[in-house]
Amino acid sequence: MSKPIPFTHQLNIQPADIDALGHVNNVVYVRWVQEVAAAHWQKMASVVLQKELVWVVLRHEIDYHAPAMPGDPIEGSTRVGDYNGARFERFVYIRHAQTGTLLAEAKTIWCLLDAATFKLKRISPELANQLLSGSLD
């Protein structure tokens, strides 16, 4: 397979995202991980493919490195990793958009489902190659 192509997406800090310590709460990063993954899928997949297939999360692993503060410009980038059956690894990196400081990184295991039946759908080598190459045309 070819090398995964990173995808970048701008993220916004909302006033409700700030916790008692004055920085972005850890649970917000989970939302951001999902937002970046969804934006990647919506950009890459055709409307038809988006109607036929859906992804659900099986597992999140997040490592926090530095806090995001109110007003910080934030961006998330993502790439896919290995796949097996209906499962695909996705890596998401949350950074300060101006300094490039890594704030958090996540490894998420996603599961592919048939959108009509919600039954597991094996990831074909063609779909995997398209995700890895950055094109789902």
How many residues does the structure list for the chain? 137
First to last CA, the chain: 17
pLDDT one digit per residue (tens) for the chain, 137 residues: 445 568 999 999 999 999 999 999 999 999 999 999 999 999 989 899 999 999 999 999 999 999 999 999 999 999 999 999 999 999 999 999 999 999 999 999 999 999 999 999 999 998 998 888 765 54
Name all domains of the chain by residue range, CATH numbers in brackets. Answer: 7-132 (3.10.129.10)
Q: Which two tokens stand for residue 53?
A: 């297939």
- pLDDT score at 134: 66
- pLDDT score at 3: 52
- pLDDT score at 6: 82
Name the strand (E) or helix (H) holding 106: strand 102-114
What pTM value is reported for the model?
A: 0.91
Beta bridge partners of 106: 62, 92
